[in-house]
Structure 1
Amino acid sequence: MNRIRKRDNSEDEETDVSKLNTNSLDQNLYLITNSKSKEPLSINIAMFEQPLLKLTLVDILEATNNFCKSNIVGDGGFGTVYKAKLPDGKIVAVKKLNKSKTQGQREFLAEMETIGKVKHQNLVPLLGYCSFGEEKLLVYEYMVNGSLDLWLRNRTGGLEILNWTKRFKIAIGSARGLAFLHHGFIPHIIHRDIKASNILLNEDFEPKVADFGLARLISACETHVSTDLAGTFGYIPPEYGQSWRSTTRGDVYSFGVILLELVTGKEPTGPEFKDIEGGNLVGWVLKKMKKGQVVDVLDPTVVNGASKQAMIKTVQIAAICLSENPASRPSMLHVFKFLKAIKNDFL
């Protein structure tokens, strides 16, 4: 496992996107996306100071009531997540990793100790872990409002509709967290599976990016990391079909899909796109943009006179994140700055 180090704070003297006015935002999006300027960190850094909890299997079994199915709060490609209660009363989330995804004992412990040092307000913190034989378990902070996917889908109808103010808060916060992974450390941390179900929400709807600890660190001299997990259908960038390489620009593409979900309220794929031009969310939105009909994609349940322009600008930012050519996509630091510009101008 490569050791990571913090990147120095500095200011971007060439372009401060957060200071762009509304009229100049569109043309500057293209110019900055294609610039070769350095990408310094402009995000608050906080390093993990407390040691990780080293729990026994007995501790985990007691906390999860022997992995009782009624305690399951999530199930994804890496494993199953259980709501658990530690002996001191603290409520946490325990992820039981799929055995096919786990590494050897030595590599696993080294990776956990490395990832445990990474902390940011928009990342779900790793609190501890347990390794017993082939069983590998991770303990995370519990997010009471679940995932963004849960709120946007609202399949049971039991949740309130997220208004644009909350959706934009989720957009800018998750962008900040992902930018921190990409730009806060050398080597960079690539997430590789950015999706709505990996954006978790605390009691104040502050977003926290989950599962970043399961990504691989790439060495300072490499530009990509090969992986057998290319992401989730609907979020996978087009270049993965040819190269099977995970990159920071692949994360940017996936984040662009999330921005479209927030603006439209629609899923990335599904039956509703069967007879719609474009075939999926990305294709549909880009077709509408080419026709000058971007207003048609805005979620009618949240768009109003106050939110309309901010939602349109967010679609424009999403569009450049979704560029077919990875080199034409902005960095996550620039995406974060673009969203800050929207906040300054409209919210």
Structure 2
Amino acid sequence: MFEQPLRKLTLGNILEATNNFRETNIIGDGGFGTVYKATLRNGNKVAVKKLSQAKAQGDREFVAEMETLGKVKHQNLVSLLGYCSFGEEKLLVYQYMVNGRTGRLEVLDWNKRLKIAVGSARGLKFLHHGFHPHIIHRDIKASNILLNEDFEPKVADFGLARLISACETHVSTEIAGTLGYIPPEYGQSCRSTKKGDVYSFGVILLELVTGKEPTGPDFKEVEGGNLVGWVLQKRKKGEAVEVLDPAVLNADCEGAMLKVLQIASVCLAENPARRPTMEEVYKLLKGV
């Protein structure tokens, strides 16, 4: 365990805190495993991620990766507080985020959305440029940007793709991203890069600006077929204003929303070499 209060946490403590992994305690489910809300004996709330068993072999590799990830501390990253490895069970203990994921955009005004964009860019910049060894996230999506009580964003699940690949002989493509966020070059190589993360972050910026999800029924009859295609077509026709979310759009924030749309478009360049770094993206967003 990395943090003093959790040093003595055992599998028994975690079973007690999650009520034996009761379904009603589930707060998230993804490619890497299931997340449970847990309350420790001292009343502290944490989030416990139970890794998918099939993807969590190799005890020595697991512990080595955890020791690395436990050192990654930043105001815009969800803190890994500890881990538990017991037989085939691999459990990660994270700080609990009060407001959860960013998916409920309708409750967020433009200032909160811009705060989410800037803060999450700062967190990803740290992973790419401020920590050694550098960490490529590989699964950036809205549900991996969590919010605290002040709506300060924190990036979750960083390093998990690397953890899984350290425990397996090969990396399957299913864990290298989520539909709607996967960069076009993955079709050729399936290799994860920092510029792939930048593309996925560009999709998140589009979500914040348009209020729409990356894929789904919204785009069934729409030119472009998905959020990225639709926005790029609209911009090409000079109709960028039409994609801005009417729920938050007003005269005061229209200019800022169009600037963020422009930054998103650069992140979504088809050629990875033409995309900015996360350091550059953060600077651009700070200037909005």
Q: Does the pair score TM above 0.5?
A: yes
Aligned-partner residue type, residue 197 of structure 2: D
Q: Pick which of 160-169 and 333-342 moved more.
A: 160-169
Which structure 1 residue ranges, 4+ long, deviate > 2 Å from structure 2?
48-55, 225-228
Deviation by residue 1:97-121 (Cα, 9 ceiling, x = unmatched): 0012213111111111110001000
TM-score (ref. length: structure 1): 0.78
* Aligned equivalent of 2:256: 310
CA distance in 1, matches of 2:5, 2:64: 14
Q: 2:16 aligns with which of 33, 57, 62?
A: 62
What are the within-5 Å matches in structure 2 for residues 202-221 of structure 1?
Answer: 202-216=148-162
Is 2:31 the counterpart of 1:77? Answer: yes
Change beyond 3 A, Cα 1:226–1:104:
closer
Specify every segment of 5 or more residues in structure 1 that has no aligned partner in the other structure, as ranges.
Answer: 1-47, 153-159, 218-224, 343-347
1:201: which partner in 2?
147
Q: Which residue matches 1:183?
A: 129
1:319–1:74 CA distance, 2 compared to 1 (3 A) = same
Structure 1 CA distance for aligned equivalents of residues 250 and 99 of structure 2? 25
- The 3-state SS of whatever aligns with 1:128 is strand
SS of equivalent residue, structure 2 residue 159:
helix
Q: Which of the pair is proportionally richer in helix?
A: 2
Q: In the alignment, is the contact (CA less than 8 A) between 2:120 and 2:145 conserved in 1?
A: yes
Equivalent position SS for 1:119: coil
* Letter matched to residue 326 of structure 1: P
- Residue 256 of structure 1: SS of its match in structure 2? helix
Q: Deviations over 1:98-155 (max 9, x none)?
A: 0122131111111111100010000000001111000000000000101012x12xxx
- Give the drift of 1:251: 0.3
Q: Distance in 1 between matches of 2:129 and 2:3?
A: 20
User: Secondary structure of the residue that 1:94 maps to in structure 2?
Assistant: strand
AA in 2 matched with 1:147: R
Output the aligned Cα RMSD.
1.6
1:310 partner amino acid: A
Question: Whole-Å Cα distance in 2 between the matches of residues 213 and 100 of structure 1?
Answer: 18
Contact 2:161-2:176 within 8 A present in 1 as well: no
| Structure 1 position 137 matched with structure 2 position 91 | yes
Distance 2:33 2:192 in 1: 20
1:186 shift after superposition: 3.0
Question: Does the 8 Å CA contact 1:54/1:129 hold for their aligned counterparts?
Answer: no
Q: Any conservation in 2 of the 1:227–1:245 contact (CA below 8 Å)?
A: no
**Aligned position for 1:275:** 221
Q: Does 1:122 align with 2:84?
A: no
Instruction: Give the match's secondary structure for 1:144.
Output: coil
3-state SS of 2:92 partner = strand
- Number of equivalences: 280
Counterpart residue number, 2:199: 253
Aligned AA (2:238): G
Whether 1:88 aligns to 2:42 is yes
- In 1, the alpha carbon distance for the partners of 2:57 and 2:198 equals 27
C-alpha separation in 2, matches of 1:331 and 1:135: 37
User: SS in structure 2 opposite 1:139?
Assistant: strand
Q: Do the aligned residues in 2 keep the contact of 1:226 with 1:244 (CA within 8 Å)?
A: no
**Structure 1, residues 186-244: CA drift from partner, whole Å, max 9, x if none?**
33100000000000000000000000031328xxxxxxx96532200000000001100
Paired residue type of 1:303: L
Aligned AA for 1:188? H
- Cα distance, 1:58–1:91 mapped onto 2, change above 3 Å: same
How far the C-alpha of 1:57 sits from its partner, in A, is 1.2
Structure 2, unmatched stretches of 5+, are 164-169
Q: Assess if the C-alpha contact under 8 Å between 1:93 and 1:140 holds in 2.
A: yes
Q: Kindly indicate whether residue 187 of structure 2 is the aligned counterpart of residue 233 of structure 1.
A: no
Q: Does 1:169 align with 2:123?
A: no
Quick one: distance in 1 between partners of 2:112 and 2:3? 31
Between the aligned partners of 1:265 and 1:291, the Cα distance in structure 2 is 20
**Structure 1 residue 272, shift from structure 2 partner:** 1.1
Select 2:58's aligned residue among 104, 110, 132.
104
For 1:293, the equivalent position in structure 2 comes to 239
- Equivalents in 2 of 1:259, 1:332: separation in Å? 13
Contact 2:6/2:81, CA 8 A, preserved across alignment = yes
Paired residues of 1:74 and 1:80 also in contact (CA < 8 A): yes
Alpha-carbon offset, residue 161 of structure 1: 2.2
In 1, Cα distance between equivalents of 2:279 and 2:7: 32
Distance in 1 (alpha carbons) for counterparts of 2:38 and 2:214: 31
